[in-house]
Structure formats: C-alpha cells, structure tokens
Amino acid sequence: MSSFNGLLGVSPVAKGYQFAVWAPNAKAVAVTGTFNGWNDNGTALNATDGGVWYGCIDNAENGQEYKFIITTRQDERLVKNDPRARKLTNSVGNSVIYDDDFPWEHSPFKAPPIHERVIYEMHIGTFHKPKDGHGTFATAIEKLPELKKLGINIIELMPVNEFAGDISWGYNPAYPYAVEEAYGGPDGLKEFIDAAHGLGMGVVLDVVYNHLGPSDLDIWQFDGWQENDKGGIYFYNDYRSATPWGDTRPDYGRQEVRDYLTDNALMWVNEFHADGLRMDMVPYMRSVSGADNGEDDIPEAYDLIRTINQQVHQAHPDKMTIAEDLHSHEYITNPVEEGGCGYTSQWAAGFVHPIRDALTKTEDSYVDLNTVASSVTNIISNNPFARVVYTESHDEVANGQARLVEEVAPGNVDDNYYARQKGILAGVLVLTSVGVPMLFQGQDFKESGWFDDSHDIDWERKERFAEYAQAFATLMALRTNSNGNSAALTGGTAEIIHQDDEHKVLGFKRTNGLDDKAVYVFINLSGSDTEQYRLNNIPPDAQCLFGWQDGLTTDSVSLNDNMIHMTPYSAFIFSGS
C-alpha cells in the first residue's frame, strides 16, 4: 500500500486515485463506488495517527461515483459523501471523482485596480432564467456582454456551492467544496469565470462559513461521534453551535475544521480562478448571537478569519476579500499586522441604511443632509476603498424589504415619477461616493418588486426603460473613467462644497490626488423646483458630464454665472479645473 500523500478528498496518483477522509472516531472506513461495483463492504482504507483514513484504488477513473462507508465505535454503518468532493450528482446523491483539468482560455487574468472596480451582485438561478427551469452558468454567460456594455468589471456571485434542491439563495451550503449541479457543476462555474475574464470582468464568490446546511448535510455526525446530540466533529457541540439557521456553526477551534474552511477558501481562488471572496454574515462567525457586544465572542473565529485573509492575499495580492459585517468596525478592514481582520473591504451599513432612508422619505423635511453627507464622504481604516457602497443587495431587497423604487412607489414603479427620479439618485450616490460601488442585478433598468429565488429579473425592462438604463450606463462610464474625463471619481477624496438644508441640495467635490480635473456632484433630494438656483464652489468653466432632470439632459445643461434650473429630485455631475 502506498503512503498517504497528505491530501484529503480524492487526488490522482501514479495509478488510479487516492481516497482520504478525516474520521477520527471511526472504527473502520471503506470506499465504495463505480470502480468496485458499489460493493456493500467497499474497499478498506488504512488509518493514520491523525484520524485520517486513506487508500488507493488503481482502477478508479475520472467521472466515477463513490461514497465512504464508516463503521462507528457502536458498530453502526454510515454511508457518507466526501466532505471535500468537488462534484456531486446532487445534494442527496453521490460524490464524483473530478479532475482539475479545465482548459482555461483567459488565464492568467488580472482584475482592474480596486479604485476602478464596480461590483454587480448576481444570483445565477434568476439572472437569466429560461422559460422552463432555472438559470444556469451557461444561461448567465449569454448575458455577460450586457454587463460588459454597462461597464461592470467585477461580478459577485451569490453562493454557488451545492445546496439542498435546485432553487435557493445559496446560503444553505450542504457541501462547501462542490458546485451546485443544477447550475452546471464545477466545469460550468469555470466556464462562467473564464467567459467573464475574457470580457475583462473579475468574479468574486460568496462563501458561507458562519453555518453549514442545515439540510442535506452529510458531515453532520460524520463519524458517529457527537455530544449533546449536536453535529459531531465538524461542529461545536455546545451552546456555540447555535445560529439563526440551525445548530451548525463549524468548530473554529478544531484545527481540522479550520483547515477545512481555509482550504475551501484557497480552492476558489486557486482551482476556480476566482478574483476574490465575499464572506457571509461575519458577526455570526465572530460571536454566537451576532449581537457584537463582546459577551459571546468566539476568539478562534478571529484567528481563522485572519488566516484565510492572509493566505489569500499572500498568494494573490490583487484578489479581494469582502466582509458582510454591517457593524462598521474599522478592525474588520484594518491590516492583520495592525490587529485587524485583514479584509480588503466591507459592506457599508453606514451607507446603505441612511441613503435608503433618505431616498424613501415621504416628506422632504425629514431628509437629513448631514447624514447623507457623512455617508458620501466617510472613510474607514484609512482606506477609501475599504467600503463597498450600495443601495440594493440580496438582503436589502428581500426579507420584508423591496427594491428601492418599489419602496418609493409600491405596486406602481413603472409609471411613478418619484420612483424614476429617486432610483437614478440612488445610482448617482452609489457611483460617485467614496468606496467600491455595487449594484444588484436589474437595478440598472428599474427592476421592481423584491428578490425571489424562483423569479427571474425582467430583461425586457432594459428596453422599456431605455433612458433610465442609459443613465446608469453613463454613470458607470464616469465612475470607471472610461471616457478619460472623470478620473476624479476613481479617487479617494470627497469634500462637501454645498449644503442647502432648506432646499435639500447637496454638493460635493471628488478628487483623486493627482493633477486630473476635479468632479463636482450636486443632488436635489427634494421635490422643489427652482428656476434660478446657484451652485456654490464650482469653477466657472465647469462642463456638464451628466444631467438628470426629468430624464437625461446632459447635452442641454449649461451654467449661467453658476445658476441652473434645479428640478425636483435631480442630479448633475460637472468636471472643472
């Protein structure tokens, strides 16, 4: 018998494949599958001192199915899938031997620098759904040119790991290492990432390490051991197991579990060529209750987070890790060497909540410009790109909430003046504020309602609301400086230059610290219409780059002694010396 090569899961060897699995409490472990006719006893594996069982199957072939047979200390027979399987027939099916031999066409790939990045959050199942069935990686690829045309350069995928059933948000990972077969499996994901790279777009993957499952979860009591009727070797077996999604918080204090999650993170960036990771609900890793009051912190989770971030960034300095933490702590994005967690960026609760609140006010008098101004200019961790700024995400447009335009005009988005105006103001604020901007799928063509994992976005709206969509495309071009006239928007400085609390007009100046021209942004957050409104602190030679009054009016906007017709809920962007 050849010696253990140190790799868990299935790995090719000189002849056939090695099978290895961690099951420290098992009395015996065997592997059964296509290669041995699904023999009831399987082929016995050898035990190591570290609780790993391994063995080589000479006639095993790529694409064959298999499972582990575990005999517990109580002589119970368990048939389990491989916790590190890259491919499954489905979440209640079999593990599949999968070779990492995808023929990449666009590798190596380097995403745009962080100051130019614009993120688009996508749900594969609903992004481009066919008439029958659900969306797949292949159907999503068909629409990637639309995102390229819009100006997107980073796609953030909601979780695509194998989950229960075929339809889900993805935040119920049954097998963290396997790619959802209903979406197209591991090759489908690689084809998607390769296609995105070919169009100049990076791909960030959403990963869930705060809980697993809770359904179709084969690693539950994997080798028969458990305490308190909890989850066994992969999970906490005391009060720390409790999460809002089930008693399935991984045991961050157990080295084998830490390796399981760290190796998973590295798998996405190494084998799948992902350009970064977004970690779901980090507070439920850092603490038991997520309350963030320090009373039930999980210290070892911080160590795991730092380890993952360090290893990703050391291997791939240009790849990003994003935290969904939502408490606005600077230590989340502070460097590890300074005692921080080391994330590149974090979702900015201090932006999305006050901006949505301001835009959905029914009375203009309730709009607080001080709060809006702070949201626009705020910098954390001494890094202007440590914030991901947005007004829509999968969470913000579901769970009892809706699209911002739906919140403004429930049931009447298509014909409502205020929904149209405020939807564009949301786009202006996201794409001109300090930070890394993010849009949610369909936001650029006024998608209504709320996010549902069984209903696709309506691509016909892009033609139906063509002027609205064009406004977003224009804003995107300005944010990425694709026309070479708005480099200041890629910078890290915003200065409030105009604040009219009576008329609810806010103006700010954006610069990038270089000799490029400044960009001046003015937003009217009220329904007032002023024929002659003076814009303060703007140069006399300012040129209009974007104008949204009652529709796109950029070409016709001009200043007369810094006076302008300020229409309700309008926005203007100027360049100047």
The pLDDT, as a whole number, for residue 101 is 96
Residue 225, helix vs strand vs coil: coil
Q: Indicate whether 497 pLDDT > 80.
A: yes
pLDDT digits (tens, 9 = 90+) for 329-347: 999 999 999 999 999 999 9
CA atoms of 110 and 89, how far apart (whole Å): 33
Catalytic residue selected from 280, 396, 444, 447: 280
Say yes or no to pLDDT of 1 above 60. Answer: no
457-476 pLDDT, tens digit each: 999 999 999 999 999 999 99
> What pLDDT sits at residue 541?
85
Predicted local distance difference test score (pLDDT) of residue 558:
85
- Residue 21, token pair as written in the block: 């699995």
Instruction: Please say if the pLDDT value at position 434 is more than 70.
Output: yes
280 is known as an active-site residue: yes
d(CA 538, CA 452): 44
What is the tens place of the pLDDT at every residue in 56-68? 999 999 999 999 9
Rounded to the nearest integer, the mean pLDDT of the chain is 97
Q: How confident is the model at residue 268 (pLDDT cuts 50, 70, 90)?
A: very high
Taking residues 515-537, report their average pLDDT.
Answer: 94
For the chain, helix (H) and strand (E) counts, in that order, are 13, 26
Question: Among residues 162, 191, 206, 324, which one is catalytic?
Answer: 324
Per-residue pLDDT at 173 exceeds 80: yes
Q: How far apart are CA 301 and CA 309, in angstroms?
A: 12
Q: What are the two backbone dihedrals, phi and then psi, of residue 153, each rounded to the nearest 5 degrees? A: -130, 0
| Whole-Å CA distances, 477 to 54, 96, 472 | 54, 44, 9
Does residue 183 surpass a pLDDT of 70?
yes
Pairing between β-strand 119-122 and β-strand 436-440 as defined by DSSP bridges: parallel
pTM of the model: 0.97
Give 52-95 pLDDT, tens digit per residue. Answer: 999 999 999 999 999 999 999 999 999 999 999 999 999 999 99
Distance of alpha carbon 443 from its chain centroid, rounded? Answer: 16
User: Is the pLDDT score of 419 beyond 60?
Assistant: yes
CB 282 within 8 A of CB 332: yes
| Fold assignment, 490-576 | Immunoglobulin-like (2.60.40)
Q: Is a pLDDT exceeding 90 seen at residue 540?
A: no
Three-class SS state of 131: coil
Q: Evaluate whether 160 touches 124 at the Cβ level (below 8 Å).
A: yes
Summarised one tens digit per residue, pLDDT across range 557-570 is 988 889 999 999 99
pLDDT at 479: 98
CA–CA gap between residue 488 and residue 492 (Å, rounded): 8
Question: Exposed, middle or buried by CB within 10 Å (0-12, 13-18, 19+), for 421?
Answer: buried
- For a pLDDT cut of 70, what percent of the chain falls above it? 100
Q: Which listed CATH number (3.20.20.80, 3.90.226.10, 3.30.300.100, 3.40.50.720) goes with 116-480?
A: 3.20.20.80
Two domains, one topology: 116-480 and 490-576: no
Q: Is 324 a catalytic residue?
A: yes
HEC string of 160-185 equals CEEECCCCCCCCCEEEEEEECHHHCH
The radius of gyration of the chain from alpha carbons, rounded to an integer in Å, stands at 26
Kindly list the domain boundaries of the chain, sorted by start residue.
Answer: 9-80, 116-480, 490-576
Cα(468)–Cα(474) distance, integer angstroms: 10
Q: Check residue 2 and give its pLDDT.
A: 78
Looking at residue 477, its amino acid is: A
pLDDT (mean) for 236-244: 98
Separation CA 556–CA 46 (nearest Å): 78
- How deeply is 239 buried, as exposed, middle or buried, from its count of CB atoms within 10 A (0-12, 13-18, 19+)? exposed
483/517 Cα distance (integer angstroms): 13
Q: Which residues of 427-455 are buried (b: 16+ CB within 10 A; e: fewer)?
A: bbbbbbbbbbbbbbbbbbbbbbbbbebee
3-state secondary structure of 278: strand
pLDDT in tens, 184-203: 999 999 999 999 999 999 99
Nearest partner of 480 among 213, 151, 50, judged by Cα: 151
Phi, psi at residue 178, to the nearest 5°? Answer: -95, 150
Confidence of residue 234 (pLDDT cuts 50, 70, 90): very high
Using pLDDT thresholds of 50, 70 and 90, give the confidence band for residue 131. confident
CATH superfamily of 9-80: Immunoglobulins (2.60.40.10)
Overall average pLDDT of the 243-249 stretch: 98
In whole angstroms, give the CA distance from residue 7 to residue 57. Answer: 15
- The Cα 353–Cα 187 span in angstroms is 38
Cα distances from 473 to residues 118, 243, 468, 481, in angstroms, run: 12, 40, 9, 12
